[in-house]
Chain A
Amino acid sequence: MLAVATLLVLAAVVFYFGFTGDAPERDVDLGDLRNSNLALGLALGVGLLVAGIGVVQWSRLLMIDTRVVELRTPSDAGRSTRRRFGGGTGDGLGRRRLLRNALFGALVLLPLPAVVALRGLEAGAPARREHTAWDEGVRLLTDGGYRPIRVSDIQAGEMVSVMPASFLDLPEAGPARPNERARSPVVLVRIPPAELSPARGRENWQVDGIVAYSKICTHVGCPVSLYERTTHHLLCPCHQATFDLADNGAVVFGPATRPLPQLPLRVDDDGYLVAQSDFTEPVGPSYWERDA
């Protein structure tokens, strides 16, 4: 057993050098990688397993297993010991009440500076939750290609992920772009106008049945992305909150507590889709001091 183990562990060392050539390859061949992983891991793993079985056999066959009986000591030292060592320790804590309380007060406050120093954790700009990068006249760009969108580009039943044109002005380094991608993404769908039932005041937020909603789920903020064209339902793959895009983003199933915010749309002079304004309510999950 132990001899086999030795051989296998040595084999693992050989496999380490044996497989992936001399220099790291430019293009990793996943098949090669898998073989290398398998050979190295199996040699080492089985080697260890066999060694372990060998040691267990050793303890079973060669060691003398007898029945040993040992007496316990009680965990409690007993009342007499406690009485002998407890109380009256001469520390004076019982006598000078005012001094003692002052001491406790100082000790309780001791961690306060450390806690206050944690204020520095918020190194970046505080989060803006009420506003996104959308504004009056900001163009809608397809996500990925960043092309402006005409009404005729969107087929009925189609869903397109969209970012605001102002996203491209953000610096590439630093957190600005990821932060905006966590806040401003929008889904654009085209629904036959007859099937839309816009709430009062939202009648002119759509363009020929094209409506736009925040892609950030109002449950915990996952991107809502599974669209079912026949029912106009948008499902969040994280916790299955389901929203009806034909009915102002209303929740039809799942744990979300409020509808998806809708982005008012219009067409600009060049025929491209633009926002009429920012969202009229905060996007994403609810929080304590959220308006309305």
Chain B
Amino acid sequence: MTTAPDTNMTPHSSWAFRQAERVVDLVERRVTGSSWFRRGRRTAVPNHWSFWLGYLALFSLVIVVLSGVFLTVWFEPSMAPVIYDGAYAPLRGVVVSEAYASTLDLSFEVRGGLLMRQVHYWATHVFIAAMAVHLLRVLFTGAFRTPRKLNWVVGVGLLVLGIAGAYAGHALPDDLLSGTGLRVVEGGVLAIPIVGTYLSSFIFGGAYPGDDIVTRLYVLHVFLIPALLVTLLALHVVLVRRHGRTQWRGAGKTNRNVVGSPRTVHTGRAAGLMLIVFGAVVTMAATLQINPVWLYGPYDPSQVGAGSRPDWYMAFLDGALRLMPPWEIDVLGHHLTLSLLIPVVVLPGLLVAAMALYPWVEEKIVGGRGDQHLLDRPRDMPARTGLGAAFVAFYVVLWIAGGNDVLATTFHVPVNWMTRLLQVSVVVVPPLAYTITKRICLGLQRRDRDKLLHGRETGINVVDIGGGFAELRVPLNRYDAYELTSRERRVPFVRDPEVDENGIPAPRLRSTRLRARLSNFYFGDRLDDDDR
């Protein structure tokens, strides 16, 4: 079927290409025993801007790793107190930890060190943000459905590991801001019932803050989390290769084929994007200051900076801590501090579980129908898009709450009002987001149908013989019309009547009733074919 030029047949004149071919030959004969590489060059890769978000995350992770290796050469993961005697005059003579002193040294005295540190931070932010947006893309287009359910879970794992790794790294310089963040973690761990105090002692090696935590976080940050991250990443990529790419619906595209550019062209684009991502991150690091730990000062558990707040990817948890009412209940003479337990332990656990399990929940409700390689347009699945929007809205309200003091200062309102407003919002906004999004989706569907039935608006007004005005409309061409009509029409599952004509109750009444309700939730609101 391919019409790509057959590069295998044309011997390259250049020496480098010939040598590369020899390496490929060697691998294919002695390692894989197949022509996987040569075949791989001929595979089809669909192209769409949203398919590049995962690449963005991948490439920023590459810079995170490269700059991180550079930093490990100079960073000392030790909390032993030293008297700072480096190049930064304002802190000279102050007792700081070795970790803090070495961070200042690698910023101020190692050439290019500050740049590398800022590259490491900025690339981390891009990495986590790209993963989050990639996850939303996969959610809203339904790319998580069979056979990619497992890969979705791997992706959620990558996001969690990325955030955990970034948090562990953020705490390493032992500065006032990140130390305050660790104190919040200690408080959260203490709230865990029964084992909380023991866990805290194990994590910090005795009393808080102790002199172990930076060394331990360092092990997590440079060894354990990267090892897991790279393993999961490899699995993620292998599964993408195994399942093939998803594609948008369109003429010539079916559930059984992949239509796209040849891989050679795709690789060219990817290489270009990689360099652009590298360049953008380095430019950001050159021009935008990030995490100036020398301004925060060394960590002192008895001090805190006003406006202390975590990095944006942790801000939703801090926001939840700020919004939680002061609830504490007594269980058999013991204390269960719900005001900490819910935001620090229960909430993140539930969020991750909900994300990870969503593909199975949706499949249960919608019904499994084998491999799904064609993407849904978000408007064609209003309930799913609405749920996603509600999830995003919930997250964003918590995220805003993580900076409620800064917002209150910015807008000159009492911080207490801000907190109350956000407490209401966190309950009210997600259902509102669900409803509004679903309505917008249905409206867009209606517009598509209008386009199909009456043609595209041209902006040309025509006066008819009776003096009336009408807009001239041009019918869609066949390809556009196909794209708009090529979607599944789903109707809610209707269960059998509770009692059949002989008075015998239907089997599995309860479970079918639940399924009918959920199915109605997903597909109940839709454009009927006769609703014109």
| Chain A residues engaging chain B, CB cutoff 8 angstroms | 16, 19-20, 24-28, 33, 36-38, 40-42, 44-59, 63-72, 74-76, 118-119, 121-129, 143, 161, 163, 172-175, 178-179, 181-183, 185, 215, 219-223, 225-226, 237-240, 242, 251, 253-258, 284-290
Contact = CB atoms under 8 A, between A and B. Distances in A.
Contact of B256 (A26, A71, A219): A71
Contacts of A33: 108, 114
Contact of A48 (B180, B255, B275, B307): B275
B265 interface: yes
Contacts of B415: 240
B135 to A, nearest CB: 21
A127 B200 contact: yes
B44 interface: yes
B2 A68 contact: yes
A175 B180 contact: no
Contacts of B243: 75
A52 B370 contact: no
A28, A239, A288, most chain B CB atoms within 10 A: A239
A172 to B, nearest CB: 7
B191 A285 contact: yes
A42 B42 contact: no
A33 B115 CA distance: 10
Contact of A287 (B184, B190, B300, B303): B190
B9 interface: no
A154 B282 CA distance: 52
Given A45-B284, A48-B278, A219-B321, 11 more contacts: A44-B279, A44-B286, A68-B42, A70-B2, A70-B259, A76-B147, A122-B201, A220-B186, A256-B326, A285-B187, A287-B335
B212, B258, B272, B322, most chain A CB atoms within 10 A: B272
Contacts of A285: 186-187, 190-191, 337, 340
B4 interface: yes
A123 B206 contact: yes
B207 A175 contact: yes
Interface stretch (B81-89, B382-390, B448-456, B478-486): B81-89
A216 B218 CA distance: 27
B321 A287 contact: no
A122 B216 CA distance: 12
A274 B57 CA distance: 58
B300 A221 contact: no
6 contacts: A16-B112, A52-B276, A53-B272, A56-B268, A59-B265, A175-B210
Given A172-B81, A182-B183, A223 B302 contact: yes
A183 B186 CA distance: 13
B146 interface: yes
Given A41-B286, A220-B183, A222-B304, A69 B252 contact: yes
Nearest to A162: B302
Contacts of A287: 190-191, 196-197, 335, 337
Contact of A128 (B207, B283, B340): B207
A56 B270 CA distance: 8
Contacts of A257: 326-328, 337, 339
B391 interface: no
A65 B47 CA distance: 11
Interface of B: 1-5, 42-44, 79-81, 87-89, 95, 108-109, 111-112, 114-115, 118-119, 146-147, 180, 183-184, 186-188, 190-194, 196-197, 200-212, 242-244, 252, 255-262, 264-265, 268-269, 271-287, 300-308, 318, 321-328, 334-337, 339-340, 370-371, 373, 404-405, 415-416, 419
B153 to A, nearest CB: 15
Contacts of A221: 183-184, 186-187, 208
Given A56-B273, A56-B276, A238 B304 contact: yes
Chain A interface helix/strand/loop/mixed: loop
A69 to B, nearest CB: 5
A74 B115 contact: no
Nearest to A71: B257
B212 A143 contact: no
Contact of B279 (A51, A225, A251): A51
Contacts of B244: 70, 72
A38 B287 contact: yes
A38, A124, A129, A238, most chain B CB atoms within 10 A: A238
B282 A173 contact: no
Contact of B197 (A53, A118, A129): A129
A238 B419 contact: no
A240 B404 contact: yes
Contacts of B287: 38, 41-42
A220 B79 contact: no
Given A181-B302, A220-B188, A237-B306, A41 B282 contact: yes
Given A16-B112, A41-B285, A286-B337, A59 B207 contact: no
B276 A49 contact: yes
Contacts of A185: 301-302
Nearest to A185: B302
Nearest to B267: A59
A284 B208 CA distance: 11
B109 A219 contact: no
A48 B4 contact: no
Contact of A215 (B42, B209, B302): B302
Contact of A222 (B147, B180, B197, B201): B180
B256 A237 contact: no
B170 to A, nearest CB: 16
A75 B147 CA distance: 6
A238 B44 contact: no
A54 B264 CA distance: 16
A182 B4 contact: no
B243 to A, nearest CB: 6
A239 B321 contact: yes
Contact of B302 (A66, A76, A163, A226): A163
Contacts of A240: 322, 404-405, 415-416, 419
Given A28-B88, A237-B405, A48 B279 contact: yes
B301 to A, nearest CB: 4
